[in-house]
Amino acid sequence: MKRREFLTATAAAAVLSQMPIRIAAAQDKVIRFSMPQDFTKVYTFVTAEYSQGQRDYLTLVNLQGGINGHQIVADVSDHGNDLPRAIEAYERAKSEGAVLIDPLSTPVARALVPRALEDKINLITAFSGRSDAADGTAFPYVLPLSPNYWTQAALLIDFFRQKDGDLNGKKICYVHIDTPFGKEPLPILQKLAEQQGFELVTFPYTPPGNDQSAIWPQVRRARPDWVMFWGAGVGQTTALTEAIRNGLDMSRLSSSVWISESDMEVVGAEQCTGVLKVEPCVSGREPELIQEILKEVVEPDKGAGPEDKVGTAYYNYGVMLAAIMVEGVRKAFEKDPDGPISGEWLNAGLRSISDFTAEGLIPATTITPEDHQGGGQGRIAHWDGAKFVPDTDFFSANQDVVWEEVRKYSEEFKKTGK
C-alpha cells in the first residue's frame, strides 16, 4: 500500500467511526430515552417483562401522535449487569443526546450516580439503586419514582400491624440475601421493632440463594408471627419452595415488589396461595391503560413481546415507569414548550408531576424537588392461586422513620459526594 492510500484510508476510517452518532443526533422532533438493562445475567425475565411493558406504553404514546409532536425513541440494549458495558451505554446515550437513562440494576445505578449528577441526565432508579436518592435535594438527577426498599419494608410492617391490631410481643422473621441489597431494610426494621415492640429475627442466606435449606428449618423453629423474605431472582423461588417444605403459614409470608406470577408458576401456583407482596401499581389487565395497550398496540401486532406477558406484575411496573416518564415529558412541555430538550428540561418536568394516576394504574403520585420517591405508596396483595388480589388500598406508612434514614445518608452524601 502506498503511503498516500494508507493515509486516505486512515482518514476515512476516522471519519466513519464518528458517523453513527452524528446521524442519530441530527434527527429532530425526537426525545431519546436510553434503556440499557440486564437481559442476560441476573434480572433476566424480570427485565424482559419490565422492558416489554415500557416499550408497549411508549409505542402507544407514539401511535397517538407522541407528546407535542415529538416521538419518544427508546434505545433498548443489554448491559448484562456489567459495569464497563453499562458505562459505555451511558456515555453513548449521553453523546446521542438522551435525556433519561433507566438501567434497572442496583450496581449499575449506584455506579452511574456521580456521572448522572455531573452530566445532568435523569437517572431513573425504580426499584433499584440507592434508597436515599428519595431525597431530591441531594440527588437532583437521580429519580427512583417508586417506593424504595425502606418504604416497602415499612409498608409490610404496617400491614402486619393492621392485621394483628398491635405488634407488641410479636415475632417477625426477616430472611434475606446476604448482600447490601438484602441488608438494606435492616435499620428501618430495627427502628420499627423498637417503636412497636415486636421482636425482629434476621436470617441471612448466602448469595445467590439457590440453597437455603439450612435457613428455613430455623425460621420454622423460631415460630414467627410474620415472615418477610428479601431477595432477587432465584433466591425468591428457593425461599418460597423452602417455606412450603417447612410448612410455614403462606398467608403470613411476605416479600417486596420482587415476586411475580412467573415465580409462583415455578414454585407451583396452587401451593403458594396466600403469599403477600407489595404492589406499587395495579396488577392484571383490568386497568384502563393496559386495556388501551391491548387494543391499540398488542392486537395490531405491534407489541414488543409475547401477548401472554401483558398484565403480569413486572409488565405493569414497566408501564408504570414509562407512564411516569412520559408524564414528566408532558409537564416539561407545559413548563417550557420551546425547550431546548435536555436533561435539565426533563428534570424540571419530572419534578413537577402532581397527582398523576396513569388512568388508575398507580396511586396518585406527586414528585417534588424534595421527594423523588413519589410519596412512598403501595398496597399489599396476596396470591390467590391464579393472580394477585389486593388486601388494602394504596397507602403510605412509617414515612417518618424512612425519611429519617434517607436524610441520614443523603446528608452524608452531600458532605462527601461529588
Partner 1 sequence: MFYRRAGIRHTRYQDERQIWPLPFDRRLALLIFLLAIFAPLLIDRLYLVSYLLPWVIWSTAALGLNFLMGGAGQIHLGYGAVIAIGAYASVHMVRAGLPFELAMIGGGLLSAAVGMIFGATALRVKGLYLAMATLAMQYIVDFVIIQFPAISGGTQATLQVPRVSFLGVEVTGDLAPYYVALLICLLVTLFMLNLRRSSFGRALAAVREKDYAAAVIGVNTFRYKLLAFWVSSFIGGVVGSVLAVCYYRAISPDQFHLDLSIQLVAMVIVGGLGSVLGSFFGAALILFAPILLNQFFGFAASELGMTISTDLRSHVPLMLYGAMIVGFLLWEPLGLAKIYANLRNYFLVWPFRHARQ
Q: How many residues bind partner 1 (CB under 8 A)?
A: 51
Closest CB to partner 1 among residues 163, 302: 302
Interaction mask 279-308, partner 1, x per CB under 8 A: -------------------------xx---
Closest CB to partner 1 among residues 66, 305: 305
Residue list 102-141, contact with partner 1 (CB under 8 A): 106-107, 110-111, 113-115, 130-132
Q: Pick the stretch among 72-80, 168-176, 251-259, 394-402 that binds partner 1 (CB under 8 A).
A: 72-80
Q: How far is Cα 408 from Cα 418, in angstroms, rounded to an integer?
A: 17
- Min dist. Cβ of residue 285 to partner 1 (A): 21
183 sits near partner 1 (criterion: CB under 8 A):
yes
Residue type, 50: Y
266 sits near partner 1 (criterion: CB under 8 A):
no
- Strands in 100-101's sheet, in edge-to-edge order, are 71-78, 30-37, 100-101, 122-124, 142-143
| Dihedral of alpha carbons 51, 54, 56, 62, sign | negative
Strand, coil or helix: what is 251?
helix
Q: List the one residue from 66, 68, 71, 82 that touches partner 1 (CB under 8 A).
A: 82
Beta strands in 245-286 (DSSP E): 253-255, 276-279
Q: List the one residue from 63, 137, 166, 180 that touches partner 1 (CB under 8 A).
A: 180
87 sits near partner 1 (criterion: CB under 8 A):
yes
Q: How far is Cα 343 from Cα 90, in angstroms, rounded to an integer?
A: 13
Q: List the one residue from 62, 68, 120, 187 that touches partner 1 (CB under 8 A).
A: 187
Of 123, 253, 230, nearest in space to 181 by CA: 230
Closest CB to partner 1 among residues 266, 348: 266
From the DSSP assignment, how many helices (H) and strands (E) are in the chain? 14, 12
Q: How far is Cα 264 from Cα 256, in angstroms, rounded to an integer?
A: 14
- Min dist. Cβ of residue 106 to partner 1 (A): 8
Q: Pick the stretch among 87-95, 227-235, 354-362, 396-404 that binds partner 1 (CB under 8 A).
A: 87-95
Cell numbers linked to 43: 434480572
Residue list 10-39, contact with partner 1 (CB under 8 A): 14, 17-18, 20-21, 39
Cell numbers linked to 49: 417483562
Report the half-sphere exposure of 210 (CA within 13 A, side-chain side). 3
- Min dist. Cβ of residue 85 to partner 1 (A): 6
Residue list 34-53, contact with partner 1 (CB under 8 A): 39-40, 48, 51-52
Q: Pick the stretch among 85-93, 228-236, 237-245, 360-368 that binds partner 1 (CB under 8 A).
A: 85-93
Report the half-sphere exposure of 397 (CA within 13 A, side-chain side). 21
193 sits near partner 1 (criterion: CB under 8 A):
no
Closest CB to partner 1 among residues 115, 387: 115
Closest CB to partner 1 among residues 158, 405: 405
83 sits near partner 1 (criterion: CB under 8 A):
yes
- CA distances to 158, 162, 273, 277, 382 from 166, rounded to whole Å, are 10, 8, 25, 20, 21
Strand, coil or helix: what is 151?
helix
Distant-in-sequence contacts of 300-303, Cβ < 8 A, 24+ apart: 302/59, 302/63, 303/52, 303/56, 303/59
Closest CB to partner 1 among residues 78, 164: 78
Q: How far is Cα 415 from Cα 348, in angstroms, rounded to an integer?
A: 24
Cell numbers linked to 237: 423461588
Closest CB to partner 1 among residues 66, 208: 208
Q: Pick the stretch among 172-180, 256-264, 270-278, 348-356 that binds partner 1 (CB under 8 A).
A: 172-180
Cβ pair 175, 241 in contact under 8 A: no
| Element of type H or E holding 237 | helix 234-245
Residues interacting with partner 1, by CB under 8 A?
14, 17-18, 20-21, 39-40, 48, 51-52, 76-78, 80, 82-85, 87-88, 90-92, 94-95, 106-107, 110-111, 113-115, 130-132, 178-180, 183-184, 186-187, 304-305, 405, 409, 412-413, 416-418
